[in-house]
Structure 1
Amino acid sequence: MEKKRAGRPLLLILAVMIVVIAYSMWTSTSSDSQAGSVTSEQQLAQVLQEIHQVGQVTVYFHYGELVGEEQFMLSNYFRSAGGEAGITGVLIVAEGASNPAIKQLLKDSVSSVMQLPQHRIVIVPMQKKEDKS
C-alpha cells in the first residue's frame, strides 16, 4: 500500500507537466493561425516591395535536390537543419521587373539574402491588370 501512495505524487506531477506542455503548444499554434501566419515567401515579397520602383511582388520558392557536382559543392547552403531538401531556386514576379536596373537589383538582393547563386533566381515582370485577356 505504501508503494502505491508514494507513486501517486509523481504521477500527478507528470500529468500536470503534460497538460502544461500541451496547453502551451495549443496556444502558440492558435495564436499563429489567428495572426494569419506569414510564410517565408510572403515575408520576402513584403521586403522586396519596399524597394523603390519595384511595385507589387509575388515570390515562389522551389524546393528540391541538387544534382551532380553542384550538389556536392553547395549542399550545405541548400539543406535545412533537419536534413530535408532546402530551397534550390526562387521565382520572383514583380511589377518593376521590366526595368533592367530593378531586375538586377532584385537579383542581387535575393542572392545575398537567400545565399543562392544568381543563376537560381528568376525574375520576371508582372502582367499588368489591363493586359489580362
Structure 2
Amino acid sequence: MQPKQKLALLLGALLILAIGFITTDQPDKTAEQPLATALMQMEGVGRVELYIHYPEKSASFFDVADNSSAPVGVLVIAEGANQPSTRHKLRQTVASVLQISQHRIQVEPMEGDFIDP
C-alpha cells in the first residue's frame, strides 16, 4: 500500500470514529414515553405530553465540560394540570424520577382542560 493510500485509510477511520463518538454521546430521548405513560396512571391526571430538554453536546473533540446526559428542563402538558394539587404532584414526581430540581419543571394544563365550576 502506498503512503497516500495509508493516509486516506487512516483519515477515513478517524472520521468514522469521530462520527460514532458524537452520535452515541446523545441522550436517549425514548425515556419520554414510558414516563408519560406512568404519569397518566396518577389520580387526577388524564393524557400527558412530555418534553425533556437535554443540554446541547459540543462537537469539539477537546471539550472536557460536563458530559452527563442529565436533563436540564422538562415540560409536562397534562389533562388535570389545571388543579394546583395535580400540578404539584406531577412536578414532584417528575423531579424525583429524573433527579432534577422542581424549578426546572414546567407543568401546564392541556388545551381544552378547563376548571370545573
Q: If the length of structure 1 is used for normalisation, what is the TM-score?
A: 0.53
1:63 aligns with: 54
Alignment equivalent of 1:124, drawn from 99, 108, 114? 108
Runs of 4+ more than 2 Å apart:
none
In 2, distance between residues paired with 1:124 and 1:53?
14
Task: Report how far residue 49 of structure 1 moved.
Answer: 0.1
Task: Report how far residue 53 of structure 1 moved.
Answer: 1.0
Alignment equivalent of 2:34, drawn from 43, 49, 61? 43
* CA deviations over 1:21-51 (Å, ceiling 9, x no partner): xxxxxxxxxxxxxxxxx92111110000000
1:110 aligns with: 94
In 2, distance between residues paired with 1:127 and 1:105?
19
Once the two structures are aligned, what percentage of the paired residues are identical?
43
In 1, distance between residues paired with 2:55 and 2:108?
21
Structure 2 residue matching 1:98: 3-state secondary structure = coil
Alignment equivalent of 1:52, drawn from 37, 43, 46? 43
* CA deviations over 1:44-103 (Å, ceiling 9, x no partner): 1000000011100000011116xxxxxxxxx6xx813xxxxx311110000110000000
2:79 aligns with: 95
Structure 2 residue matching 1:39: 3-state secondary structure = helix
What is the letter of the counterpart of residue 87 of structure 1? P
Structure 1 residue matching 2:81: 3-state secondary structure = helix
Structure ranking higher on relative contact order (CA contacts 8 Å, 6+ apart): 2
Gaps of 5+ in 1: 1-37, 66-74, 81-85
Q: Paired residues, what number?
A: 76
In 1, distance between residues paired with 2:71 and 2:96?
14
Greater Rg by CA: 1
What is the letter of the counterpart of residue 91 of structure 1? L
